[in-house]
Chains A and B, each alone.
Chain A
Amino acid sequence: MWDFFIVIFRDSTSILLVALGILIMQLGGVINIGAEGMMLIGAFFGILGTFLSGYTGLGILIALIILAIFGFLFGLMTIYWKGNQVVVGVALNLLAEGMTTTLSRQIFGTGSQSTIQGFKPIFLGVSVMTYVALALVLALYFFLYHTNLGLRIRASGEYPIAVDIAGIDVYRVQLTAVVIGAMIIGLGGCSLSMAHMNSFSELMTGGRGYIALAAVALGQYKPIGVLLASLMFGASNTLQYHLQASITKFPAPIIRIIPYVVTIIAVIISGKNSKDPSALGKKYIKFS
């Protein structure tokens, strides 16, 4: 039983991190359909950085820097240049797929030469990434509800004109949220490739970015809610592995769709009384 919980936590870590990143961006009013792509980029560059430098910490740092750049560009295109957030996000996903696949084949070939010495379990059978993710839930709660910037981010996603009239640069607040969010998502990607697995494989995120998007909605835009939703999705994943291993008569593909079916149901349930920020996805034009 205890093992089962540990596995759930391990499987949920990457989704939880990505969901926290999406949470902060979307609270700021920016839809992030590109989370999947950001996660993939994080997963790849974490491995590549570690592979080249020999240090996992350095690998993560490189991934975070790359994600900060991508987040900055994403924010520039959507907030300042008024690109459609969904279109730019989808473009980012396509770019990430192509880029990581091509680079991975160029550098590592098609085999599993990208294997590194990843994070090992340190305590109670889970790696440091899981503890980082749990700590981030608390940190984010504090950030959003007890700091000025957190308040400004939440206000920008709800009613940007009030922020604007208070003399605060709405664009900068949103851009900050996007960059921070992108980096946390990147960390989620790293946890997938460096703690959950020990290598990068093509398109390894397998829709976790979208599942995280659902976790944010299901978690009603609250850090604790997002944690619980992520654990639920992680559990459905764990269940899927277990069923595949234990029930051999049942066709595997049908078992494998369990997490996705759960996601769809969750989205339908949470859509009913959605807590989406009021200005989510709306372009705001500053008057000053």
Chain B
Amino acid sequence: MDPILRLKNITIKFGALTANDNVCLDINKGETHAILGENGAGKSTLMNILYGVLKPDSGQIILDGQEVNIHRPRDARALGVGMVHQHFMLVPALTVVENIILATCQTPLINMKKTSQRIRELSTKFGLEVDPAAVVKDLSVGQQQRVEIIKALYDSCKILILDEPTAVLTPQEAKELFKIIRQLNAAGTSVAFISHKMNEIMEIADRITVLRGGKSVWSARKADTNEKELARHMVGRDIVFTSSENGAIRDKKILEVKNLCVSTAYKKNAVKDLSFSVCNNEIYGIAGVDGNGQSEMVKALLSIIPKDSGQVIFCGKDITHDSTKEIFSKTIGHIPEDRLNMGVISRFFIFENTSFYNYRTDEFSSRNSIDWKKEHSYSDKLIQKFNVKASGGKAVFSTLSGGNQQKLVVARELDKKPRFLIAAHPTRGVDIGATESIRKHLIQQRDQGCAIILISTELEEIMSLSDRIGVMYEGKMIAETTPKEASIEQIGLWMAGKES
């Protein structure tokens, strides 16, 4: 049987970076084809080419035996290719029906009734339960994803692209999604499933193609392979889960959080009665699905948002009511979750970005004016010390690649020699080389005595770096364990709110 879709020698370059390098991919009718690769391997780029968001420099797309030109997403949809983006493309203020009409309707007048009817049809056919009249912003992430799938299926869809669909889901919601995917397959719709999580792929895929460094390196049927082999192809070598244990004596509580409660304008009790402590020479990993109070907790710890109640003690001193400025003037570092909005000013120069903490100190200023020469050489020093790929401190920050941007943020925070460090998603969206270097630096810092909170949604990262692990669910720390005691499955259950 000929494949329904064949991508041949797709190449695309962004400046010096070749994001896709002669990538080939076959997808058969009615199968789930997983595209596996590390962050930055070119998975999303490839799918955006197929969906018409990006234009390849060279290569062919052959659909049903015919070469096609896809210039815009609309062309892709007309050919039966639908896509669910990692970041949902739904207008939050509109209802489900309105969102679907927006994406599919071409007539001057809109017909809510007919569209609602069709949505219900699709709902029942594929088990995509959703209320057509609901406003999107009131829906849970899982429900929003269903709306996206309905949107893609609305005009007969032959190939459905799912870009990292489980990244925002709880394990249970993911199970539901897999059920839907199987039903789609049974109805003859092919699914391109993008992920970097091997266990998921082993569960749902029929065939697997691995991308690495922009190239399609390997392809196989699931039945003929195993996780270990996948990992080897994905990373290019065997991954060894090294335990980072260092045997230091942990006798001082560096940070202690007692009964912290936080509410925000959007969420009451975002953090509820949260207590934990971190010792010297310790990485405390906080696992949890995104949006379970992690970012509110961090912001409250740093007094960026107010605390309702609770106590925060740093090295024996109560810092509950200190201002953010006072907190940062202590030896506390923070690698923020959203580096572009919270960590840096990306249109500023690198040397300006690295001056955030020191421009007031006597070393870098005299008589209230900043000594920019010193700031220059300081940023050059950081760039060298942390091996950031940049032409120098005088480059504009936004010209750096994502991995190097993050390396620079990490460099700035670690150069403060913090006794306590908050690392929120330190390797999210960062290529594998930078990831490795950032993790190495975190461990180094810990070995020098620093207490670190590591917040991550990647269980593998939590498991390999942490000395202790706490699991956050709906603002509470519902379990505490160590990597040796707990299995990934157990932590996954906790993340879904199953206490045991």
Contact = CB atoms under 8 A, between A and B. Distances in A.
Given A146-B110, A166-B73, A166-B74, A288 B53 contact: yes
Contacts of B109: 146-148
B99 interface: yes
B93 A162 contact: no
Contacts of A48: none
Contacts of B89: 161-162, 165-166
Given A147-B110, A151-B102, A165 B91 contact: no
A167 B94 contact: no
A69 interface: no
Contact of A167 (B74, B91, B93): B74
Contact of A162 (B90, B105, B106): B90
A168 B72 CA distance: 10
Interface string B68-103: 000011110100000001000111111000110111
A208 interface: no
Contacts of A277: 93
A284 interface: no
A149 interface: yes
Contacts of B103: 162, 166
Contacts of B92: 158-159, 278
Interface in A20-61: none
The interface size bin for chain B is: 20 to 34
A147 B108 contact: yes
Interface size class of A (residues with CB under 8 A): 20 to 34
Interface in A155-173: 155, 158-159, 161-163, 165-168
Nearest to B103: A166
Nearest to A288: B72
A278 B108 contact: no
A152 interface: yes
A287 interface: yes
Task: Point out which of B77, B98, B102 has the most chain A C-beta atoms below 10 A from its C-beta.
Answer: B102
Contact of A155 (B75, B77, B102, B106): B102
Contacts of A166: 73-74, 89, 102-104
A10 interface: no
Nearest to B55: A288
B54 to A, nearest CB: 8
**How would you classify the secondary structure of chain A's contact residues: helix, strand, loop or mixed?**
helix
A239 B207 CA distance: 76
A148 B72 contact: no
B369 interface: no
Contact of A148 (B53, B74, B85, B101): B101
Contacts of B91: 154-155, 158-159, 162-163
Nearest to B88: A162
Contacts of B90: 159, 162
A165 B99 contact: no
Nearest to A275: B93
A155 B53 CA distance: 19
A151 B53 contact: no
B107 interface: yes
Contacts of A288: 53, 72-73
A150 B282 CA distance: 57
A148 B112 CA distance: 11
Contacts of A162: 89-91, 99, 102-103
A287 B53 contact: yes
Contacts of B108: 147-149
Nearest to A154: B94
A165 B103 CA distance: 8
A152 B102 contact: yes
A250 B132 CA distance: 58
Interface in B310-351: none
B342 to A, nearest CB: 19
B99 A167 contact: no
A288 B92 CA distance: 22
A167 B110 contact: no
A168 B85 CA distance: 17
Interface centre among A151, A161, A166, A288 (most CB of B within 10 A): A166
27 contacts: A147-B109, A147-B110, A148-B107, A148-B109, A148-B110, A151-B98, A151-B105, A155-B94, A155-B98, A155-B102, A158-B91, A158-B92, A159-B93, A161-B89, A162-B89, A162-B103, A165-B73, A165-B85, A165-B89, A166-B102, A166-B103, A167-B72, A167-B74, A167-B77, A168-B102, A277-B93, A287-B53
Interface of B: 53, 72-75, 77, 85, 89-94, 98-99, 101-110
Interface of A: 146-149, 151-152, 154-155, 158-159, 161-163, 165-168, 277-278, 287-288
Q: Which 6 A-B pairs have the closest CB atoms?
A: A167-B74, A166-B103, A159-B91, A162-B89, A155-B91, A158-B93
